[in-house]
Structure formats: C-alpha cells, structure tokens
Amino acid sequence: KPDAVLMSRERFNAEASGHNTVIVDGSENASVQYASCCRPIPGDTIVGYLGRGEGLVVHAEDCTVARKLRNKDSERFIGVEWSDEPARAFETGIVVTVNNGKGVLARVASALAASEADIIHIDMGQEAAQETTDLRFVIAVRDRQHLATALRNLQRTSSVLQARRSTTAPD
C-alpha cells in the first residue's frame, strides 16, 4: 500500500495511468486522514485529496468541502476506495430528535450500545429545555450497514422522533 505522504502528483499520475487507486482500511498511519466535515465510513463513495502538508485527506464524494476543493484544485484529487475488510470502526455523526423527558438520554445511549456503536461525543446544545430537542452524536461504526442498524434501533426507541446521519460535526 503506497504511503500517501510520499505520493507526489507526478508519481500518482504515473501510477494512475495503470488505473490504480489507493485502498484505505483505517490502518494507515498519520499520512491519511478522514475528513471531519463529512466523516466518510466504509460503504460511502469516497475521493482523496492530496492536501498541502497534510497528506491524503479522504472525503465522501458528495461532500461540499470536497466539491469546493475540486473546483479550485482538481489536480490534487486521486482515486481512493475502501478495502473489502476495514481494520477498525469509523466515526460518523448522527442527529437524534427526541421528546424531552426523564431517562431519554439513557434510552438513546442504551439503543446505541445494543447496536454495538460506540459513542465518541454527545452535544445536547445550550438551549433551554423544550418539548423536543436534537441530540447530536459522533459514533463509531464499522460501515453503512452498521450505521443503518443503529439508526433503526434508535427509531424503535420510545421518545425518539427521528434519527438520521449528519455531516456536520458537533462543536
């Protein structure tokens, strides 16, 4: 597997002429980063951006940041694909809209734990308690199927009105 930091545009162009793509599985060193703007997970269509001094940054293909970068720096993009067997879980954002009440956060956390999704971060906002609220989570999942299972389990949880993936990272 090539080290993305060492991969110059010229070297990549020489390799790409053979239709090679960089395969990512999460075991790469610090030269490969997964963009926090879109938080790609296995199963997402992805693109790679050779950043200036930051190595290879992997974005979801439909990421607005990636689109802007492609418009001004298209020559810095390279083909990337997920490995068939990712080496670890990947972080992604979800928003869970709930009816406020006692034990709601515990039920949501329990549903995520039952789905074997690890909670990395929670943001409940600063607004005063209202009838409903959005809970923003960053969770670790294996792939899109794992995420779908976690979202289904959340939808079945009492007090949960909606659970969906989010591409905006909590502060």
> pLDDT value at position 14?
45
The string of pLDDT tens digits covering residues 50-76 is 987 778 999 999 999 999 999 998 888
> pLDDT value at position 54?
76
> pLDDT value at position 66?
94
The string of pLDDT tens digits covering residues 146-169 is 999 999 999 999 999 999 999 765
> pLDDT value at position 168?
63
Q: How far apart are CA 99 and CA 38, in angstroms?
A: 27
Q: SS3 sequence, the chain?
A: CCCHHHCCHHHHHHHHCCCCCEEECCCCCCCEEECCCCCCCECECEEEEEECCCEEEEEECCCHHHHHHHHHHHHHEECEEECCCCCCCEEEEEEEEEECCCCHHHHHHHHHHHCCCEEEEEECCCCCCCCEEEEEEEEEECCHHHHHHHHHHHHCCCCEEEEEEECCCCC
Rounded (10°) angle between helices 104-114 and 144-155: 140
Evaluate whether 51 touches 57 at the Cβ level (below 8 Å): yes
The string of pLDDT tens digits covering residues 23-33 is 888 888 778 89
Is the pLDDT at 6 greater than 60, yes or no? no
> pLDDT value at position 53?
77
> pLDDT value at position 128?
66
The string of pLDDT tens digits covering residues 71-119 is 998 888 999 999 999 999 999 999 999 998 899 999 999 999 999 999 9
> pLDDT value at position 41?
96
Q: Stretch 5-16: mean pLDDT, rounded?
A: 46
